[in-house]
Every structure is written in structure tokens, then in C-alpha cells.
Amino acid sequence: MIAKLQNFRALAAGTLAVLALAGCADKANPDNVDRRSVERWNHLIAHEAEKAYDYLTPGFRATQTRDAYAAAMNNRAVQWKAAKFKEKTCEAERCTVQIDVTYIVTAPGMGGRPMESTSTQSETWIYSKGDWYFLPK
């Protein structure tokens, strides 16, 4: 009976150790960068920069208020239409993410006609305080 109890305790301790290690490995899961990068752009597309603000690194947020950021981003001359995750390159707690952003801009040289285009945006994302955050340039 004592041997069975000791085996059970050893098995339980081993299982808990494996679960704890798995939890640590998942914390900086770069797959979350794919989702969060597109979510941030979708907020910008919807003129919800006050929500996109939450995706900025804590350090950047310490330098600019939510209202100031929202005013600057929601009043851009460019009209963002769509964002699609393209690819990422990650090292530890830093990822470079490529996002294809479709936008419309009215160019004065084009007779005031709107012009639609798509460009690839390269973004730096940092893992901090339990999540992935966009680091503006």
C-alpha cells in the first residue's frame, strides 16, 4: 500500500511538472501574433483606434494617451480597407510580422480620384507582461 502511494505521488509530481513546463512554453506562443496583428488592423480599419491602442507595447502607451493616439490614427487621409496576415519571423520574445494592408488614398495628382492599393507592412511585435504587443517605429 505504501509503495502504491509513493508511486502515485511520483506520477502526480511528474504530471504537474510536465503541465507546468507546457504552460511556460505556451506563454510566448508566437501564433498569437498572427491573430493580434490582424485584430489591431481591424480596429484601425473600423476607426476604433482607441481599441487598437490596447495592442501597443506598455512602454509606448506610457508615452501617449489613448485619446491622443485615437485622434491621430482615426483622422488619417488614408482609408484602410483590409488587412491580411502574410508571414512572421520570430526569435524568443520578438517577432517581425508582415501584414498586407489594402487602402484607398485620394492623390491630388490623380484628379482627386481615389486610388486603391495594397502594401506589405513590416511590424515589430514584442512579448511583454503575458501577451504580444505592437512596437511602433
Residue 21: inside a domain, yes or no? no
122, part of any domain: yes
**SS3 label, residue 81:** strand
At 61-102, the pLDDT tens digits run: 999 999 999 999 999 989 999 999 999 999 989 999 999 999
Please indicate, yes or no, if residue 6 is contained in any of the structural domains. no
Q: Is residue 14 part of a domain?
A: no
Structural domain tally of the chain? 1
Residue 13 forms part of a structural domain: no
Does residue 10 form part of some domain?
no
- The x, y and z cell numbers of residue 116, run together, are 486603391
pLDDT at 10: 44
* In a domain? residue 125: yes
88: CATH: 3.10.450.50
Question: Which structural domain, as residue segments, surrounds residue 67?
Answer: 28-135
Q: Which of 91, 97, 99, 102 is nearest to 133 (CA)?
A: 97
Any idea what the Cα angle at residue 34 is, between residues 102 and 37, rounded to 5°? 55
pLDDT digits (tens, 9 = 90+) for 93-118: 999 999 999 999 987 776 778 899 99
Query: Residue 42's Cα: distance from chain center in Å?
Result: 11
pTM: 0.77
Q: Is residue 17 part of a domain?
A: no
Tell whether the model's pLDDT for residue 9 goes beyond 80. no
